Amino acid sequence: MYSALKHKIENDGFAVVNEVYNAAEIENLLQTIASIDTSKPTFRKTNDLFAIRQFLKEVPGTLETIFNEQLNSIINAIFGEDYFVVKSIYFDKPEDSNWFVAYHQDLTISVDKKSDLKGFGPWTVKHKQFAVQPPLSILEDNFTIRIHLDDTDEGNGALKVIPSSHLKGICRPETIDWSIEKETTCPVQKGGIMFMKPLLLHASNRTSNHQKRRVIHIEFSRSTLPDNLQWSESLQSVSA
């Protein structure tokens, strides 16, 4: 199982694994999230989006449930034991959301400060958080998991991806040749996860079926940053 999963992630840039969490674990996560104070600056709330940045730092009560035996086994079998969390976000896409995300790659990492380093740039600052595009080698080596707290399909914003686009380096979405490329929608069951590579071109549609889409997005790396630059959210979690 794990060898086939590893092959799919390496070649397609993504894979879905259902039944990583049982109903009780999902309910525990939802109840823990519902009980927190949302007045902090790391929380963002609008009519069609609720997000928690630095999620695992803000909601540490979820750590034990998220990094259960099954998730740890899958990650260690596919990627080894050297990876650690470098970014985590919780997204709640409500039932009536018109939030549409166009095709893009995840090209930045979150760090603790701005530094003039060769191969790092451009830089941005958002909500007092520094982000930078790192050397391509770091993006190629990183991976992301998306934990789905609701059944997700094309009706409530399941990701659309272009398989194997992560193998082509940095791509401008406007240069996609739709006569060659094939778009794939990635439904995920409640309690399932989606693995993806940062350079995979991905997008999501507006909600059309009035169903919630709550996702915990966690990025992993094993790269040490240069010149005392630090990941803003480093957490040795895989072996938790």
Q: How far apart are CA 88 and CA 96, in angstroms?
A: 24
Residue 227 lies in a domain: no
**Helix, strand, coil % in the chain, rounded to nearest 5:** 25, 30, 45
Number of domains in the chain: 1
User: E strands along 6-162, which residues?
Assistant: 14-17, 43-46, 49-53, 84-93, 101-104, 109-111, 123-126, 129-132, 143-148, 159-161
Residue 229 lies in a domain: no
Give every residue of the chain whose pLDDT is below 50, as ranges.
238-240
CB atoms within 10 A of CB 37: 7
Specify the pLDDT at position 240.
41
Specify the pLDDT at position 238.
46
Distances (CA, A) of 88 to 105, 165, 168, 218, 233: 17, 23, 26, 4, 8
User: What range defines the domain where residue 107 resides?
Assistant: 2-221
Beta-bridge partner residues of 130: 111, 125
Specify the pLDDT at position 128.
77
CATH number of the domain where residue 176 is located:
2.60.120.620
Q: How far apart are CA 234 and CA 129, in angstroms?
A: 14
Residue 239 lies in a domain: no
Residue 228 lies in a domain: no
Residue 235 lies in a domain: no
Residue 226 lies in a domain: no
Residue 207 lies in a domain: yes
Classify residue 163 by its DSSP letter: T
Q: How far apart are CA 169 and CA 139, in angstroms?
A: 9
Specify the pLDDT at position 135.
97
Q: How far apart are CA 155 and CA 185, in angstroms?
A: 11
Nearest to 214 by CA among 64, 97, 54, 71: 97
Specify the pLDDT at position 173.
87
Residue 173 lies in a domain: yes
